[in-house]
Structure 1
Amino acid sequence: MPWITLIIKTDAAHAELLSDTLMEQGALSVDIHDAAADTQDEQLLFGEPGEPGGEIWQNAEVSALFNQEADIDEILRNVTRAAQLNSDPDYRLMYVEEQDWVRLTQSQFDPIQISQRLWIVPTWHQLPDPAAINLILDPGLAFGTGSHPTTQLCLGWLDQHLQPGDKVLDYGCGSGILAIAALKLGASHVTGIDIDPQAVKASQENALRNNCDSARFAFATTYEATERNLQPSEQADVVVANILANPLIMLAPILAQAVRPQGHIALSGILKEQAEEVRNVYHQWFAMHIASEQEGWVLLTGIKR
């Protein structure tokens, strides 16, 4: 179904009142913006250093989205009256054609080749190489489509270093991509943990989609609950965590405890300038080093003493 966007030119004194009135007239959404945006007359707000500030642009536009059946003439009459305008507003109309939003979104995700034998393939694509190890994923609501450098760094490392029969912990499992890759690369057992229930659900669904139902995904709402899930008897041969630098620093004692002696840890989600700080924290348990780097992100790995 197409939509109509009604765009009204106004000033700071009337912008918010027009916005409220348009919502009352049935607008699906309303936006206030600078009418001179992206021109030399664009007005900076919020008091940028050396520039005048303000709360609303003096030369503003209010955009309202309506269903195609909306009576724009009637809406304009009601807006003029409710906003107590002295004359009919200066406006224009734009038409938004109906699109297949699902197909449009899917078109942003193409198969990604990680190595000669490892591919990431969205569920709606054909397999580029049926003989390869293919990770079939629905990106869903969880982080981990394989397009981000940090995910690719972890996948590349697993592809090169995981040994058949290894027991793996994927902390911050997101879509489950690393856990699923570990199983397909020969791990005997994988546990995925995430504090986001949507991520756990996406991981479980993606595991089934990849015939990896032996993967066990746990859900922890706090770091303490996570620690209770990692018993000494369940220490992993490999722990991989693709999160961010600050959570990795906070989680260091828990993740270190989860790795068996002489086991491996791989940490990503770390910017190059953060690597030394993270490395120093983990150095008390591991001999850490930068294993690889991509687009300013690094992968730190180490062996537990």
Structure 2
Amino acid sequence: MPFLELSLTLRATEQERVELALEETGALAVTLLDADADTPNERAILEPGVGETPLWGEIALSALFDADADRAGLLHVLAELLPEIEPAQVRFREVEDQDWTRVWMDDFKPMRFGRRLWIYPSNIEPPGDDAETVVVRLDPGLAFGTGTHPTTALCLEWLDGLDLVGKHVIDYGCGSGVLAIAAIKLGAAHVDGIDNDPQAILASRDNAERNSVADHLALYLPHEFAHAPADVFVANILAGPLGELAPRFAECAKAGAPFALSGILIGQADELLARYAEWFDELVVETREDWVRISGRRRA
């Protein structure tokens, strides 16, 4: 069955009201991409939580409608919301169902993080002759990140460098579950994933099942989690919550436990370093593009 795709580029500050309006006019799905990225592997698909907006300056938005949707009506809605946008800037095309569901798959390539860890889309089979290769299956666009964003990549590389065999790991801000799944695939016996978005919990559970590791993953909303301290702790959220939650995160890590924080812009690192020095030692900063990972160990 064919569908109608509407696409346009807009400012991040306009995203929430435009997305809501399109959903109210019958959008079956809305996809948000970084308009400034050059390749699909660099374009993290973002599904923000309630009240959150993407960190990108400009967004390439695509919305999927039934094939018989009223194009003139959709243009009218957008004209009321974004009078500065000319109708010629709004693009329509018909897509087949298979085209839409696999729109990224032809261009999305396997990605390597560290020495062993790879993320493969489901349409590509990894080579079977390397016993040390660790593969996470995750398709782009399903939800909340696939490793394309620098913060996720920094955390995946950090996990790959640890000995996780038999360990208990906490992944705070689990999103798609990519870090939790990677930790299990790297040998962790159990991972607790925490996220404040119920959709992220569903996405993490679904992706864990796709990777046959669901039995090793427990998922919680923040108020449901009871602070059981872990052997390894990782949080990939934003700098504000990282600062506010520092005492709680200290309770989540056993003495000597390695920890990593990301979701931090370069200018935000110094304040967090000072904040976490109260509980953590051996603090190290790693940067990629405009983003930072802070890692260290829980003080005894």
Q: TM-score when scaled to structure 1?
A: 0.66
What residue number does 2:220 align with? 219
Q: 1:214-236 CA distances to partner (integer Å, 9 max, x unpaired)?
A: 2233231xx5x15xx234xx310
Residue equivalent to 1:244: 238
Counterpart residue number, 2:29: none
Name the CA shift for 1:288/1:3 in 2 (closer, same or farther; >3 Å).
same
Contact 1:282 1:288 in 2 (8 A): no
- 1:267 is paired with a residue of what secondary structure? strand
One-letter amino acid of the counterpart of residue 257, structure 1: E
Find the structure with the greater CA-based Rg. 1
1:119-143 CA deviation, whole Å, 9 max, x = no partner?
1011222225663110011345532
Q: Distance in 2 between matches of 1:177 and 1:291?
A: 22
**Alignment match, 1:292:** 286
Alignment match, 2:210: 209
Residue by residue, what CA displacement relative to the aligned partner does 1:156-190 show, whole Å, maximum 9, x if unpaired? 11111233222100011111111111111111211
The sequence identity of aligned pairs, in percent, is 43
Assess, with a 3 A threshold, how the Cα gap between structure 1 residues 139 and 173 changes in structure 2: closer, same or farther: farther
What are the ranges of 5 or more consecutive residues in structure 1 without an aligned counterpart? 6-22, 35-54, 66-93
2:249 and 2:164 map into 1 onto residues whose CA distance is 20
For 2:283, give the aligned amino acid.
H
| Counterpart for residue 115 of structure 1 | 114
Task: State whether residues 32 and 62 of structure 1, in contact with CA within 8 Å, keep that contact through their aligned partners in structure 2.
Answer: no
- Which whole-Å deviations, capped at 9, do the CAs of 1:60-96 have from their partners, x for residues lacking one? 854699xxxxxxxxxxxxxxxxxxxxxxxxxxxx984
Q: Is the 8 A contact 1:193 1:218 kept in 2?
A: yes
Q: CA RMSD in A?
A: 3.1
Unaligned runs of 5+ in 2: 7-24, 26-68
Q: What one-letter code is carried by the residue in structure 2 that aligns with 1:125?
A: I
The match for 1:174 is 175
In the alignment of these two chains, the number of paired residues is: 230
Query: Superposition pairs for residues 278-289 of structure 1, below 5 Å?
Result: 278-287=272-281, 289=283
Q: State the secondary structure of the residue aligned to 2:231.
A: strand
Partners of 1:137 and 1:4 lie apart in 2 by 24
Instruction: Determine which of 30, 34, 41 is the counterpart of 2:75.
Output: 30
Partner of 1:143: 144
Shift of the 29–128 alpha-carbon distance from structure 1 to 2, 3 Å rule, reads farther
Structure 1 Cα separation of the partners of residues 127 and 294 of structure 2 = 31
Assess if the C-alpha contact under 8 Å between 2:105 and 2:140 holds in 1. Answer: no
Matched residue type, 1:29: L
Within 2, Cα distance between the matches of 1:30 and 1:2?
Answer: 17
Q: Is the 8 A contact 1:264 1:302 kept in 2?
A: yes
Q: Distance in 2 between matches of 1:64 and 1:299?
A: 38
